[in-house]
Structure 1
Amino acid sequence: MQLNINGIDTRYVLDNEGGGPWLTFIHQLAGDLSVWDQMAGYFRDSYTVLRYDLRGHGHTAVSPDAFTIDDLADDLSELLDRLGAPSTHVVGLSIGGMVAQKFAINHADKVDSLTVVGAPAFIREEARPTFLQRAASVRESGIAGIVEPTLERWFTAEFRKAHPEVIEQIAETIANTPAEGFARAAEALSRFDARAELASIAKRTLVVAGEQDNGTPHAESKLIADTVPGAQFELLNAAHLSPVEVSQRFCALLDAFLRGPA
């Protein structure tokens, strides 16, 4: 389904068989809502599960202007308002984890709990040119050139070899991401820094990192857990996309966290 959110035609999928509390999943850079298909299937009997495509990804329109991670958090707030959701558990992966942090900071009244997966508290100064270079490369040469390097960062070699059908599907999602959509998001990501505000988060927080994630070393994710009061930190045997690579372990971890004390 589509809604115009802050001037952007936005695709979302709502699974509410359970009619329970809201649970929102936010995908990674060069991804779309399909990365959460398995999680939606598991949680929809107990939760009202919302998935959506970020600006310039999947079937959501490309933003005509530059934007920030704060703007993406505002998009989620507006989407929830339009759908009549008073509050939600929020789970974000990679850039989605950055959006989730800013959503918990800027829209605290709408957050039931926060789960950040494979995301740092900030982008290091020396890493920013990498994202700007990827944005420039994709604008100039198209997105096809980043598909293989991205898959190598996102998954361990063992998983890529054992699950070619999963890799093929995700490769297709990357390849179908609009070049300008990727570039604008990569530029927004390069400027992300939530360190000064994380201590203000008062909601239950789970931080998940991949032990073999070279793109976002787990020490960078642990900084979130060390800063948010009472946050839980979990390290999984995976690379960047742990909800896909170790889906059963991730699902059990998230389920236990969501069922924990309010």
Structure 2
Amino acid sequence: MQLTINHIDTNYVLDNEGGGPWLTFIHQLAGDHSVWDQMAGFFRNDFQVLRYDLRGHGGTTASPDDFSIDDLADDLAELLARVGAPSTHVVGLSIGGMVAQKFAVNHADKVDTLTVVGAPAFIPEDARPTFRQRAKFVRERGTASIVDATLERWLTPGFRKAHPEVVEQIGETIARTPVEGFARAADAVSRFDVRDKLASIVRPTLVVTGEHDSGTPPAQTKVIADTVQGAQFQLLDAAHLTPVEQSQRFGALLDGFLRNLV
């Protein structure tokens, strides 16, 4: 399904429109809503599950101008309003976790709970050029050129060997990501910093990270749990894509977290 959100044709999928609390999943950079397929299947009987593609990813058109993580959080707020969701449990992975944090800060009245997966509270100064360089590299060579290096960061060698079909699907998604969608999002990531606002988040919060995540080391993600009062922190045996690599464990964690609150 599609809606025009802040002048962007936005692709989304809604499971179980019949009732239940809202649960929204936000995907990673160079990903799309399909990374949450297993989680949608797990939760669709008890929640209205919303998945969507960020600007310039999947079936959502690219933004004609540069944007920030705040803009992406505003996109989510407008999408929720358009589909009739007064509030939602929000789960974000990687850049999706950055969007989720900004959403919890800027649209606190729309957040029931916050779950951040494999995302930092800020991009360190010395790491910012890395994202700008990736944007430049992709503009020059296309998103297919980053597939192998990205998969190596996202998934452990053991998982890649055991599940080649999953790796292939994720690789195809990376390669299909429009160049400007990736580049503008990478630029937005390079400027991300929500440290001075995290303490304002009062909703129940779960923070999950992979112990083998080289791109976003666990210490960076733990800053969120240490700052948000009462937040829970969970470390899983995975690299960056913990909901994929440890899907059963992640699903059980999220289910337990939500069931204690719903």
Superposition TM-score, scaled by structure 1 size: 0.99
**TM superposition outliers: structure 1 runs of 4+ over 3 Å:** none
Q: Which residue of 1 aligns with 2:203?
A: 203
Q: Residues of 2 paired with 1:19 and 1:255: CA distance?
A: 17
Distance 1:175 1:154 in 2: 15
Structure 2 residue 133 is the aligned partner of structure 1 residue 133: yes
Aligned position for 1:239: 239
Q: What amino acid does structure 2 have at the position aligned with 1:20?
A: G
1:76 corresponds to which letter in structure 2? L
Map of 2:121 onto structure 1: 121
Aligned to 2:228: 228
Aligned to 1:218: 218
Trace 1:170-189 onto structure 2 (pairs within 5 A). 170-189=170-189
- Mapped partners of 1:62, 1:111: distance in 2: 26
What percent identity do the matched residue pairs reach? 77
One-letter code aligned to 2:84 = G
What amino acid is the match of 1:202?
V
Equivalent pair of 1:17/1:44 in contact (CA under 8 Å): no
Give the CA deviation at 1:19: 1.6
Report the Cα distance in structure 2 between the residues aligned to 1:75 and 1:145, rounded to whole angstroms.
29
Q: 1:261 offset after TM fit, Å?
A: 3.2
Q: What one-letter code is carried by the residue in structure 1 that aligns with 2:30?
A: A
What pairs up with 1:1-262 in 2 under 5 angstroms? 1-16=1-16, 19-261=19-261
Name the stretch that deviates more: 39-48 or 11-20.
11-20
SS in 1 for 2:64: coil
Q: CA deviation at 1:132?
A: 0.2
* Contiguous gaps of at least 5 residues in structure 1: none
Amino acid at match of 1:199: A
The count of corresponding residues between Structure 1 and Structure 2 is 262
C-alpha contact (below 8 Å) 1:18/1:44 kept by paired residues: no
Letter in 2 for 1:240: H
One-letter amino acid of the counterpart of residue 235, structure 1: L
- Structure 1 residue 113: Cα displacement: 0.1
State the SS of the aligned residue for 2:169: helix
CA distance in 1, matches of 2:245, 2:19: 29
Range with bigger deviation, 16-25 or 78-87: 16-25
SS of equivalent to 1:121: coil
Residue identity matched to 2:98: M
AA at the equivalent of 2:41? G
Q: Secondary structure at the match of 1:35?
A: helix
8 Å CA contact retained: 1:17, 1:45? no
- Distance in 1 (CA, whole Å) between partners of 2:215 and 2:140 is 23
Distance 2:53 2:144 in 1: 20
Residue 101 of structure 1 and its aligned partner are, at CA, apart by 0.1
Q: Deviations over 1:62-114 (max 9, x none)?
A: 00000000000000000000011000000000000000000000000000000
Structure 2 CA distance for aligned equivalents of residues 110 and 175 of structure 1: 33
Q: Is the 8 A contact 1:97 1:118 kept in 2?
A: yes
Is contact 1:211–1:238 with CA below 8 Å preserved after alignment?
yes
CA RMSD across the alignment: 0.7
Name the aligned partner's letter for residue 167 of structure 2.
Answer: I
Partner of 1:31, secondary structure, is coil
Asked if the contact 1:31–1:174 (Cα under 8 Å) also holds between the matched residues in 2, the reply is yes
Report the alpha carbon displacement of residue 17 of structure 1 after superposing the two structures with TM.
5.5
Cα distance in 2, alignment partners of residues 135 and 146 from structure 1: 11
